[in-house]
Amino acid sequence: MPHTINQNEVNMLRSELELLMRERQALLKVTGIAAGLIAEMDSHDLPISTVEAADLLATSINNLSEETLQDALNAVHAEIAE
């Protein structure tokens, strides 16, 4: 007996996928903004606790794949300065 997905299940999956895509886009924007903020910071002018928090954020951003980071920068219309 083959498994079939009824229209209600298809609609539910479509709605869930759309929600996940909206959440991904929002997270990409936050990540892109955070990357831009880190790039502009001058750690010499900041308290050590702020530098430590920025370092943790920068490490997390650097752990992203290059494709995801580029998607994040594109979401906020930023570019990686090389």
Helices (H), the chain: 7-40, 48-62, 66-75
Distance CA 24, CA 9 (A): 22
* pLDDT band (50, 70, 90) for residue 79: low
Contacts of 81 by beta carbon, 8 Å cutoff, 6+ apart: 39
What's the pLDDT score for residue 80? 57
Q: What is the pLDDT of residues 18-63, one digit of tens each?
A: 999 999 999 999 999 999 999 888 888 889 999 999 999 999 999 9
- Is the whole-model pTM more than 0.75? yes
Who contacts 65 (Cβ-Cβ below 8 Å, separation ≥6)?
none
Please give the pLDDT value at position 78: 76
pLDDT band at 82 (very low <50, low <70, confident <90, very high): very low
Whole-number pLDDT of residue 60: 96
